[in-house]
Amino acid sequence: MSVTKVHARQIFDSRGNPTVEVDLYTDKGRFRAAVPSGASTGVHEAVELRDGDKANYVGKGVSKAVNNVNTVLGPELIKSGLKVTQQTEIDDLLIKLDGTPNKGKLGANAILGVSIACVEAGAAEKGVPVYQHLAELAGVKPPYVMPCPAFNLAFQEFMLLPTGATSFTEAMKIGTETYHTLKKVISAKYGIDAVNVGDEGGFAPNVSGADESLELLMEAISKAGYEGKIKIALDVASSEFYKDGKYDLDFKNPNSDPQKWISGTELADLYLSYVKKYPIVSIEDPFDQDDWEAWTHFTKNSSVQIVGDDLTVTNPLRIKTAIEKKACNGLLLKINQIGTISESIQAAQLAQSDGWGVMVSHRSGETENTIIADLVVALGTGQIKTGAPARSERVAKYNALLRIEGEIKDGVYAGDQGLSAGLTAPALLKK
């Protein structure tokens, strides 16, 4: 079954910024996809094409990307006569039509919208759920693995992982109960204003530093009755405070003292001290995206999962370099960093071939699209990060996973089995 019509439009993401939505039609009906957008974007990511016209939508309009779907990608896809089940060939065609290494001509946001819509149409054509279609494309066999969610309940940088749950449903119970408990703990300590939620649904109280934040989380975990069942992950986004080869931990202060900026090795020691003190199992972007030396040093000396996000940007070329340099042992998989579903699958499998953990992730500018819920089950990586259990664009993914768990009768819950630990590959990979 081939594509009969493709139509893109500009819609809005969860932060009120324009994004691309694509409707793709076959004889089976209409299939819709919407594209997410990041806040802290790595310099090596595929290009999100924006109009750049400051007079409209603060320069963030996507009419060029929409037009590229409607006048180039859509018509060429229809002309190709490719069947919607031929995902790899379709994605290859989209990449060729763009012709640049970073999808800068037509825009990764235009290309990804078409790629996701084709996945939806392909599943319908085969008469199977999307996760099953994706698993077949990836060559992954059942039983399906339900992921351990990583909830950023407070401050974007700290996540709770209910590794001790026995099912995804129980993981949601643990996560939501701890979220509500944390709300009470923060409210009592910092006042009612401190529980306003950020872009991804987490709270943002005015704390003095990482120790205070971690203590708050530990208190909430204990009060919720889940000690031992919840582990902690950090998302540092350290490229944001890397200055002149050093790390400025006081970066929010415009007059921070350069004498107090620290080296990558000193920062690594600080992380290791947190790992000793708290149940931390994963650290994302601990160093700047081009500070390879610090990454390699830390990965060699740590016993936790070290996740590349800005470092690897879901790009097979960057992942290859990270493998060669032994720079990390975990991949954050963001479909819009690379721009097609086929390349996302390839990126995950490349990382897994070296024994890495893979955490499928949302972006800060999300839509109600739930393709990442299907993708994480399809790939069987056992880890998903898609915000706090608040704000519908986040919860949509969790609800999609609850439905999938209800549908697959013989699925297993990953718990901590998807996490790599130092030089040890995830247990899921060894099966």
Q: Which residue in the list 48, 200, 343, 405 is annotated as catalytic? A: 200
Give the length of the chain.
431
Q: Which residue in the list 60, 103, 231, 334 is annotated as catalytic? A: 334
- Among residues 181, 212, 227, 189, the alpha carbon closest in space to that of 274 is found at 212
- Among residues 221, 156, 220, the alpha carbon closest in space to that of 188 is found at 220
CA–CA gap between residue 301 and residue 314 (Å, rounded): 24
Rounded to the nearest angstrom, the gap between the alpha carbon of residue 410 and the centroid of all alpha carbons in its chain is: 26
Element (H, E) at 262: none
What is the token pair recorded at 86? 């031929």
- 157 has catalytic annotation: no
CA–CA gap between residue 309 and residue 363 (Å, rounded): 11
DSSP structure class, residue 71: I
| 176: helix, strand or coil | helix
CB–CB of 94/115 below 8 Å? Answer: yes
Cβ contacts of residue 303 below 8 Å, gap of 6+?
Answer: 275, 421, 422
CB–CB of 194/206 below 8 Å? Answer: yes
DSSP structure class, residue 60: T
Q: Measured between alpha carbons, how far is residue 176 from residues 152, 161, 179, 224, 385 in Å?
A: 11, 12, 5, 10, 14
Q: Give me the sign of the Cα torsion angle 109, 112, 116, 118.
A: positive
CB–CB of 367/34 below 8 Å? Answer: yes
Query: How would you class 200 by CB atoms within 10 Å of its CB: exposed for 0-12, middle for 13-18, buried for 19 or more?
Result: buried
- Among residues 333, 275, 329, the alpha carbon closest in space to that of 306 is found at 329
- 200 has catalytic annotation: yes
| 111: helix, strand or coil | helix
Indicate which residues carry an active-site annotation: 200, 334
